[in-house]
Amino acid sequence: MAHSGKEKTQRLQPVYEMACDKERLAAQAVGEVFRDLEFQRLRLSELLRYRDEYVQRMQEQVRSGMDMVQLNDYRAFLSKLSRAITQQEHAVRLSEDALTEKKQAWYYHRGKVKALLKVMEQHRRLMQINDNRREQGESDEFALLGRSLLRRVSD
């Protein structure tokens, strides 16, 4: 049994709405991961700045005189700070990868929404064409009927 364009469009509406929901959720996920990435980058920036300040203080202390215990403490702390920076760089890379993944998911869902919109628009256009043809046929039929009646009356 053939379905009209309107019925097809109506049947696609829930699918379209579900696709829109998935796209919206994917966009929200992109936003959340982006905020996390910005946080991870900020934290890395702070660690790098802190390390630079700490190295500068250590160099000033060395110039003004520092015993070996203090120097070893500075070095041990710098070593821990370097490990923290390495871990934070890894966290940034993971966040960047997660952002790429979430963006790809959003693009996928956005593509589905666009495709559904296109199909629904095609159905609407076909329905409009069919309606126009039907109206034209009715108009032509009415015109023929009118002419036929006029001929009968004039005969």
| The three-state (H, E, C) secondary structure of the chain, written as one string | CCCCHHHHHHHHHHHHHHHHHHHHHHHHHHHHHHHHHHHHHHHHHHHHHHHHHHHHHHHHHHHHCCCHHHHHHHHHHHHHHHHHHHHHHHHHHHHHHHHHHHHHHHHHHHHHHHHHHHHHHHHHHHHHHHHHHHHHHHHHHHHHHHHHHHHHHHC
Amino acid at 113: V
**In whole angstroms, how far apart are CA 45 and each of 53, 61, 74, 82, 83?**
12, 24, 21, 13, 14
How is domain 7-113 classified at the CATH fold level? Answer: Helix Hairpins (1.10.287)
Instruction: Give the chain's mean pLDDT.
Output: 89
Domains of the chain, by residue range, sit at: 7-113
Q: What is the per-residue pLDDT across 17-49, written as a single tens digit (0 to 9) for each?
A: 999 999 999 999 999 999 999 999 999 999 999
Cα–Cα dist 36/132, whole Å: 54
As a whole-number percent, the residues of the chain with pLDDT over 70 amount to: 86
Cα–Cα dist 58/88, whole Å: 23
Confidence (pLDDT) at 1:
46
Cα–Cα dist 155/143, whole Å: 18
User: What's the pTM?
Assistant: 0.71
115: number of Cβ within 10 Å: 12
Give mean pLDDT, residues 146-151. Answer: 67
